[in-house]
Structure 1
Amino acid sequence: MVITPPPPSPGDQPAGIGTSIELFTGGGGLALAMHDAGFRHLLAVELDKRACATLRANRATDFTPDADDPSRLDDRWPLVEGDVGQVNFARWKGKVDVIAGGVPCQPWSLGGVGKGYDDPRNLWPELFRCVRETRPKAIIAENVKGLLRPSFKPYYDYILRELAAPFEQRVNGEDWRDHDKRLTKTLASGKYDPTERYEVKHLCLNAADYGVPQIRHRVFVVAFRKDLAIDWNFPDATHTAEALAHAQADGSYWAEHHLPPPPVTTLPSLAVPEGTQRWRTLRDAIATLPEPLGDKIEHPDWLHHYGWPGAREYTGHTANVLDRPAKTVKAGVHGVPGGETVMRDDAGRIRYMTVREVARVMTFPDMWKLDGPRGEQMRQLGNAVPVELATVIAKSVVKALK
């Protein structure tokens, strides 16, 4: 088992298929997906020191203003560790194809205090500023489902309108509601410069529907510059719960895992949507990993694979089961309060999932190193975009831009 990143191979397209700037990079899920889709990162920006250490341990290097931009896909990602509000993006005007970022979720998270637009961690305005300064061809933004709450809907609609017309700027001291009125009027006028407008689409996706072994609902917002006249739609789901239910009922799922089927199986009444594969389960994700050796004992052959003491179940804190997708991974040390990193094994025992097992559920590659103690590693994973879900979106954007 490889536990350090191998040297990147040049590939058939040494420069990649396009360029990108990654905002709010975190532990690198969306950035890695963009890279794997062929985008050459001109810059990555992240404030958290542990996440920055993770990025450096894998593919990033500190940004040097006097250095040339990366020219090959396998060049290391230039990283700014610091406040995105202090970064001037003007040098990349006309040079970047896609701006991407998982906008910090705390203002909108169902598990947080939900201050929304009044939260100082609301960084959508910085995304809009980056767009104005660079004029990218496309934008990919990801956020939590909490942004769709009825109490936040007016602001969510405002976000979408501001992304459609980012050059209609909010002025100092202007309330967002007044700005939204101006945006609504401007967008209705029909008079605009198409290089300063974006066609915006948004959808809440379940990662499990795209092959990620985890139930994880996230909002994606994707926009293309209007002068490109690109007709794009979100990719169709490729995996379904119905297909998993049928595979478990007809025995094929259990055969894959060399297990006897349950004593009684009844085929579900719901048909499998045509052309879909079954949801991937926690068992699928961790099948090739050995059992952890013990509490706090690192496995010699697997990075971040060690047990942790104290797992238990109680009301509202039930364990993951092996033969369903995992619960949504959250940014807590132990996943409290919902048991997101507690699992029940085939013998009925309860234990915490290892960091490597959680990384598998988030579809990070096994050689991806996470900096810091266990709690920091789990927090980075819980805040990340699942790599395989982001790759589906990134590749669909590649296809549209081509």
Structure 2
Amino acid sequence: MKSIELFAGAGGLGMGVSCAGFAPQAVVEWDRWCCDTIRENRRDGLGLVGDWPEPTEGDVRDVDFREHEGKIDLVTGGPPCQPFSLGGKHRAHADSRDMWPQAVRALRETKPRAFIFENVKGLTRETFATYFSHIVLQMTYPDLVAGPDESWETHLRKLEKHHTGRRGPAGLEYRVVSRVLNAANYGIPQRRERVVFVGFRSDLDIKWAFPLETHSMDAMLWDQTRGNYWDRHKARKADRRIGDRHVERAERLDGKPTTAPWRTTRDAIGDLPDPEHQSRDAMKYHNHRFQPGARSYPGHTGSPLDEPAKTLKAGVHGVPGGENMLLRPDGSVRYFTVRESARLQTFPDNFRFHGAWSETMRQLGNAVPVELAHIVARSVKRHLDFGGADFLK
């Protein structure tokens, strides 16, 4: 099946989609460092981008998608999230960086069978509730375009009237669902919440729901208090304890959960050599170099080794903070290396990142975990393969 990847970044979402069986026909990204990362891995034939087309570097507003009309099964992407980020300026629809209209234009011009878009959890804040509705209705009816002088509020009213008053065929239409997904609940070693939108063209009559969660915090606590977590990792006796805030919850567990345990930071990076010593073994891993300067203070405390990592941040306002630090059991901290951060985002070890540490951390902080993208895209593909069959999970 064929796809188009918009706002590709370092390729996390696109790689997961490729792993699910989609072949990208176009990859669009404006940032040159991200494009260099994709190019380097593409040139070396590495991993899931080895057969990607040359990325289109530039403003998506300058890209004409009409040559792909009727030829694309899936459009994916993460429209720039700065307008809605909890750490941003919250300008939302007044922000020129809002690329949602361009994502909708790609749907209008290609008419894919389905799409997957994602964005920061901040988009679901009550402050943005009305604009959130506008985004969903735009994706539902991509052909109903705002006029050149039409405000988004006026356009929203037009979409609402069309939605409530339509009769019979409505042109290009998608059935859209959205949900905030916590990556940790799907086996990613990071507590990362993103809102994901999935839509299927209405003429396909496909019934779909988000994949069931497979991992849980309770299962992690069970594994750490009554399972073999510590033995499996050959942890020192002094380190074999859970966080104080979790003790009561662990004691209340009256049976082994049916889900798998949350994957912890130790699960993800425990086999990597300590980069602080710059051993010969550490040098064998791409982008696994010690970054000095980490320090802890209130609100900047790092990710505990034996829990999923905190959400990696892009550091758009400077050097990434505590969310990009490892908190060791002895209370000391250090910055995650690029390779460790890539592990937390489930990028393969042979994937190389282009740029300085701060730049590559920005790429990773903006990325979608590869495995989470794979899980969602795999479910979408199965439904496209089998049509409206309701037996699919």
> TM-score w.r.t. structure 2 length?
0.90
Question: Using a 3 Å threshold, how does the CA distance of structure 1 residues 293 and 270 change in structure 2: closer, same or farther?
Answer: closer
Aligned-pair CA distance for 1:191: 2.3
Determine whether 1:253 maps to 2:229: yes
Question: Using a 3 Å threshold, how does the CA distance of structure 1 residues 350 and 274 change in structure 2: closer, same or farther?
Answer: closer
Rounded to whole Å, the distance in 1 between the matches of 2:334 and 2:52 is 37
Q: Which amino acid is 1:169 matched to?
A: V
In the other structure, the counterpart of 2:41 is: 58
Aligned-pair CA distance for 1:390: 0.8
User: Residue 131 of structure 1: SS of its match in structure 2?
Assistant: helix
Q: Which amino acid is 1:124 matched to?
A: W
Q: Which amino acid is 2:185 matched to?
A: D
Moved more, 21-30 or 249-258: 249-258
In the other structure, the counterpart of 2:176 is: 200
Q: Which amino acid is 1:156 matched to?
A: F
C-alpha distance after superposition, 1:66-94 (max 9, x if no partner): xxxxxx99633231100000000011001
Moved more, 258-267 or 349-358: 258-267
Question: Using a 3 Å threshold, how does the CA distance of structure 1 residues 185 and 334 change in structure 2: closer, same or farther?
Answer: closer
**What is the 5 A alignment of 1:249-398?**
249-259=225-235, 260=237, 261-262=240-241, 267-270=250-253, 275-294=258-277, 299-332=282-315, 338-398=321-381
Indicate which of 13, 21, 25 corresponds to 1:30. 13
Determine whether 1:96 maps to 2:79: no
In the other structure, the counterpart of 1:135 is: 111
Indicate which of 65, 88, 92 corresponds to 1:116. 92
Question: Using a 3 Å threshold, how does the CA distance of structure 1 residues 271 and 207 change in structure 2: closer, same or farther?
Answer: farther
Check conservation: 1:208, 1:216, Cα contact below 8 A: yes
In the other structure, the counterpart of 2:30 is: 47
C-alpha distance after superposition, 1:121-151 (max 9, x if no partner): 1000001111110000001000001101111
Aligned-pair CA distance for 1:353: 1.2
Check conservation: 2:120, 2:195, Cα contact below 8 A: yes
Aligned-pair CA distance for 1:60: 6.9
Check conservation: 2:73, 2:113, Cα contact below 8 A: yes
In the other structure, the counterpart of 1:11 is: none
Check conservation: 1:214, 1:282, Cα contact below 8 A: yes
Q: Which amino acid is 1:359 matched to?
A: A
Aligned-pair CA distance for 1:270: 3.9
Q: Which amino acid is 1:144 matched to?
A: V
C-alpha distance after superposition, 1:327-379 (max 9, x if no partner): 10000189867501221234443211111111111111111111011111000
Check conservation: 2:28, 2:56, Cα contact below 8 A: yes
Determine whether 1:175 maps to 2:155: no
Check conservation: 2:77, 2:116, Cα contact below 8 A: yes
Aligned-pair CA distance for 1:59: 2.5
In the other structure, the counterpart of 2:83 is: 107
Moved more, 38-47 or 175-184: 175-184
Check conservation: 1:282, 1:324, Cα contact below 8 A: yes
User: Residue 283 of structure 2: SS of its match in structure 1?
Assistant: coil
Rounded to whole Å, the distance in 1 between the matches of 2:230 and 2:317 is 30
Determine whether 1:84 maps to 2:60: yes
**What is the 5 A alignment of 1:4-15?**
none
Question: Using a 3 Å threshold, how does the CA distance of structure 1 residues 125 and 272 change in structure 2: closer, same or farther?
Answer: farther
Rounded to whole Å, the distance in 2 between the matches of 1:378 and 1:101 is 19
Of Structure 1 and Structure 2, the greater helix share is in 2
Moved more, 237-246 or 180-189: 180-189
Rounded to whole Å, the distance in 2 between the matches of 1:113 and 1:298 is 43
Determine whether 1:244 maps to 2:220: yes
In the other structure, the counterpart of 2:121 is: 145
Check conservation: 2:324, 2:335, Cα contact below 8 A: yes
Rounded to whole Å, the distance in 1 between the matches of 2:281 and 2:163 is 57
Rounded to whole Å, the distance in 2 between the matches of 1:334 and 1:288 is 32
Q: Which amino acid is 2:268 matched to?
A: A
Rounded to whole Å, the distance in 2 between the matches of 1:357 and 1:304 is 9
Check conservation: 2:210, 2:376, Cα contact below 8 A: yes
Determine whether 1:165 maps to 2:148: no
C-alpha distance after superposition, 1:155-191 (max 9, x if no partner): 0011101111111111110011111111111111232
Unaligned runs of 5+ in 1: 1-17, 62-71
C-alpha distance after superposition, 1:213-269 (max 9, x if no partner): 001110000000000000000011100001011111104211221224449988531
Rounded to whole Å, the distance in 1 between the matches of 2:335 and 2:282 is 15
User: Residue 10 of structure 2: SS of its match in structure 1?
Assistant: coil
Check conservation: 2:20, 2:378, Cα contact below 8 A: yes
Give RMSD over aligned pairs. Answer: 2.4
Q: Which amino acid is 1:326 matched to?
A: A
Rounded to whole Å, the distance in 1 between the matches of 2:293 and 2:257 is 44
